[in-house]
Amino acid sequence: MGYPQKSHPRETPVLSKHFGEGESRSLDGWKKRGGYKALELALQMTPAQIVDIVKASGLRGRGGAGFPTGVKWSFMKPGDGKPHYLLCNADESEPGTFKDREIMRWTPHALVEGCAIGAYAIGAETSFIYIRGEFQEPIDRMEAALKEAYAANILGKNAMGTGKTINVYVHKGAGAYICGEETALMESLEGKRGNPRIKPPFPAVSGAFGQPTTINNVETLVAVPHILVNGAEWYKAMCLSNPKSTGTKLFSVCGNISKPGNYEIVLGFPFKDFLYDLCGGPTAGRRFKAIIPGGASVPIQTVEEAEATLMDYEGFVAQGTMLGSGGVIVFDDTQSIPRQVARLTRFFAHESCGQCTQCREGTSWTTRILDRIVAGNGTYEDLDTLLEMAENMTGKTICVLSDSCAAPVVSGLQKFRHEFEALITGKRSSMVAGGSQTTAAGRKLTAGASA
Amino acid sequence: MSAHTESYAPVFVGKRKDELAALLTRYPTKMAGLLPALWMVQQDRGWVSEQAMTEVASVLELTPAYVKGVVSFYTMYHQHPVGRHFIQVCTTSPCLCNGADKVVNAFLEHTGCKELGITSADGKYTVIEVECLGACGFSTPVQINADTIENVTPDKVPVILAGLK
């Protein structure tokens, strides 16, 4: 449901059905809502049976990459004599995305259950939920749920009385966007700087602590209990467009929009209806200018592209962007695209781990050039330099942070070049209706806690 | 290497020592206890000093240089003392387009902090801008120590500050 907005009749709340209900946080409240039935079922099956059901459901990773979850799980070989690990990626830091936060705040037991089932399915006795350090309330909610689950013998050495060992622990991050990248998350869990690893080896071969590891997003794992209880066919039937995109997906909506919030829809839903009907369209007197539909890492869409999009993995690609994390950032006609692009690249420059030259230098210089353009001191050559650098930043580094920084620059210049040119020729006032031009973000940090 | 000085009281004694030992049973390596151990230090001392890094290094069988390398990677570990109320205002894109810059200015004005990152003269406040707090639908979110406050606007800032102990 559109938390904090009221549920919209065109939503299909499965994962978000209990957002906003305080009672759903406790073990009793969760059991009343059908909680832990799926885990009970799962522990009576073989791991391979669970993997097959998840495969058949068509569930794909909800963190951004969209890899089929059942296939990912099938890379793990239970019984190979090695310790396996299930990692839950709860390092939600992609600008525009705030769905996992609400899942953990309102339905922490759903994630405990998802982790327990996932761990069992891949032959792991231990699962770590890596939660970003800023999420203190979600961390507290998860810790409280885990405490209850251990006390009720749902977890532990004799999980639900089956003799199987399933441990689930919270591991708190400490402020680094890059730790949401799966191999950086593993490094961080191991007590290291969050530098992404070169792949291969892939996590299923050598992941956390050098052991076979699977890493799944929060939203992916909480979908699994529903699939086990209702069946793969039920899940697969939730599909409005491409059969490769099944089930429901949470979209976080923010920026210049009437009703910001988390909305859950069946994949394939028309983006136009989503933006205007569910989310209430632009605020009074304004119109949309640009939309970033999948978190800050995906290309910017024009309104025309967005309105023609069907909301699934293939639908967003067909309209020049990606589904990503489902973090929808909306800019209206008061916003300057160059200023917003500069702010996005500043984010990536701040979060670059610095291992790869293209990223370390590229994110920083891209930001400096964009700041210069926004300040009215840019040149036409700067635009060419930005695109040249973007090319060097794409597909050439260990992880995709560098590519993510290039995405808004390239798409911004492709689709809104006139705004950049207007700043260069000094016609700034013609394209921004009222928006403030001072950027607090441009301030220099002098001391204190920032790295 | 800055060894333990007489003025430094170790963190990992008594209850804290037991707590860390219990935590380490979750992981196959001692090194994995580093982030949790640093959190304990910061919770108890308000920041992570070089002496504390040396202590953590010795407890987890790491080198102080290694620990410092990790501390400096993560933005949430304070390598300097900060104000009693550490105020982080999100100014990433979705918040910026809803006026986060004005919220930053309001905090600077009402706390008496002259600059971002510089603690107020009375030691009460430090204000910084933070990259995406992951609460974009509630712009502007502000984190004060461990608490996140949603939907902050400039006019709410004096009330928020008055409510801090």
Digit-coded pLDDT (tens) for A298-310: 999 999 999 999 9
Confidence of residue B5 (pLDDT cuts 50, 70, 90): low
A436: which chain B residues are within 8 Å (Cβ-Cβ)? 99, 101-102
Note the pLDDT tens digit of each residue in A352-394: 999 999 999 999 999 999 999 999 999 999 999 999 999 999 9
Q: Which residues of B touch A98 (CB under 8 A)?
A: 134-138
Q: What is the mean pLDDT of residues A278-287?
A: 97
* Whether B59 and B90 share a structural domain: no
Task: Please check whether residues B152 and B103 belong to one and the same domain.
Answer: yes
Task: Give residue limits of the domains in chain A.
Answer: 34-237, 248-332, 337-438
- A441 with B101: Cβ contact below 8 A: yes
Query: Taken in order B139, B143, B149, B152, is the CA torsion positive or negative?
Result: negative
Determine the average pLDDT of the residues in B127-136: 96
More confidently predicted of A433 and A52? A52
Cβ–Cβ below 8 Å for A448 and B128: yes
CATH of domain A337-438: 1.20.1440.230
How far is A52 from chain B, CA to nearest CA, in Å? 30
**A133 confidence band (pLDDT: 50, 70, 90):** very high
Q: What is the least distance, in Å, from the CA of A189 to any CA of chain B?
A: 6
How many distinct structural domains can be found in chain B? Answer: 2
Which of A330, A255, A327, A261 minimizes the C-alpha distance to A294? A327
**Chains A & B: contacts with CB separation below 8 Å:** 203
CATH number of the CATH domain containing B114: 3.40.30.10
Q: Is pLDDT at B27 greater than 50 in this prediction?
A: yes
Give pLDDT, residue B6: 63
Which of B29, B67, B97, B116 to probe the A interface (max A CBs under 10 A)? B97
Whether residue B113 has pLDDT greater than 60: yes
Model confidence, pTM? 0.94
Task: Give the tokens for residue A276.
Answer: 């205007």
Pairing of strands A310-311, B125-130: unpaired
B108 in any annotated domain:
yes
Mean pLDDT of the B68-92 span: 97
Q: Which residues contact A65 (CB under 8 A, 6 or more apart)?
A: none
Residue A438 has pLDDT above 50, yes or no: no
In terms of C-beta distances under 8 Å and separation of at least 24 residues, what long-range contacts does A315-322 make, across chains too?
A315/A241, A315/A242, A315/A245, A315/A268, A315/A271, A320/A411, A321/A292, A321/A293, A321/A294, A321/A411, A322/A64, A322/A293, A322/A294, A322/A297, A322/A298
- CATH number of the domain encompassing residue B55: 1.10.10.1590
Q: What is the pLDDT of residue A3?
A: 87
Specify if B7 maps to a domain: no
The pLDDT score that the predictor gives to residue A59 is 98
Say which of A171, A174, A440 has its CB closest to residue B74.
A174
User: A35-58 b/e with 16+ CB inside 10 Å = b?
Assistant: bbebbeebbebebeebbbbbbbbb
pLDDT at A451 (0 to 100):
32
CB-closest option in A255, A438, A445 to B101: A438
CA distance A325 to chain B (A): 12
Identify all chain B residues contacting A251, using CB atoms and an 8 Å cutoff: none
> CATH code for A34-237?
3.40.50.11540
ipTM of this complex prediction, to 2 decimal places:
0.95
| pLDDT over 70, % of chain A | 94
Mean pLDDT across B10-37 = 98
The rounded distance, in Å, linking the Cα atoms of A255 and A3 is: 15
Alpha carbon of B70: minimum distance to chain A alpha carbons (Å): 5
Q: Closest CB to A451: pick one of B72, B132, B146.
A: B72
Examine the domain organization and report whether B151 and B103 are in the same domain.
yes
Can you tell me the mean pLDDT for A227-231?
98
Q: Which residues of B65-103 are buried (b: 16+ CB within 10 A; e: fewer)?
A: ebbbebbebbbbbbbeebbbbbbbbbbbbbbbbbbbbbb
In three-state secondary structure terms, B133 is: coil
> Tell me, what's the pLDDT at A378?
96
Q: Is A95–B92 a contact, with Cβ atoms under 8 angstroms apart?
A: yes
**Residues B61 and B104 grouped into a single domain:** no
Query: Does the distance separating the beta carbons of B34 and A176 come in below 8 Å?
Result: no
Question: Is it the case that residue A430 has pLDDT exceeding 60?
Answer: no
**What values do phi and psi take at A5, rounded to 5?**
-80, 165
B96 closest CB neighbour out of A177, A441, A451: A441
Name beta bridge partners: A89.
A130, A217
How far does A80 lie from chain B, in Å, by closest CA? 18
**Same domain (yes/no): B101, B152:** yes
Task: Please tell me the distance in Å from A243's CA to the nearest CA on chain B.
Answer: 30
The amino acid sitting at A36 is Y
Which of A166, A443, A445, A446 is the best residue to mutate to test the B interface, defined by the most B CB atoms within 10 Å of its own CB?
A443
Rounded mean pLDDT of A37-60?
Answer: 98
Confidence of residue A1 (pLDDT cuts 50, 70, 90): confident
What's the CA gap between A15 and A7, in Å, rounded? 13
Segments forming the whole domain that contains residue B143: 85-162
Q: What is the mean pLDDT of residues A261-288?
A: 98
* The pair of three-digit structure tokens given for residue B72, joined into one six-digit string: 């400096």
pLDDT of residue A447: 34
Looking at the fold, whether B90 and B63 belong to one and the same domain comes out as no
Q: Are both B34 and B62 inside the same structural domain?
A: yes
Which residues, including other chains, have CB under 8 Å from residue B70's CB and lie 6 or more apart? A191, A192, A193, B34, B35, B38
Cross-strand partners of A168 = A127
- Same-domain status, B92 and B66: no
Of the pLDDT bands very low, low, confident and very high (cuts 50, 70, 90), residue B165 is confident
Higher pLDDT, A216 or A451: A216
pLDDT surpassing 80 at residue A130? yes
Is residue B86 scored above 90 in pLDDT? yes
Q: What does the alpha-carbon distance between residue A265 and residue B139 come to, in Å, rounded to a whole number?
A: 23
Pair (B97, B60) in one structural domain: no
Measured distance between the N- and C-terminal CA atoms of chain B, rounded to whole angstroms: 37
Residue A348 clears pLDDT 70, i.e. is over it: yes
Architecture of domain A248-332: Roll (3.10)
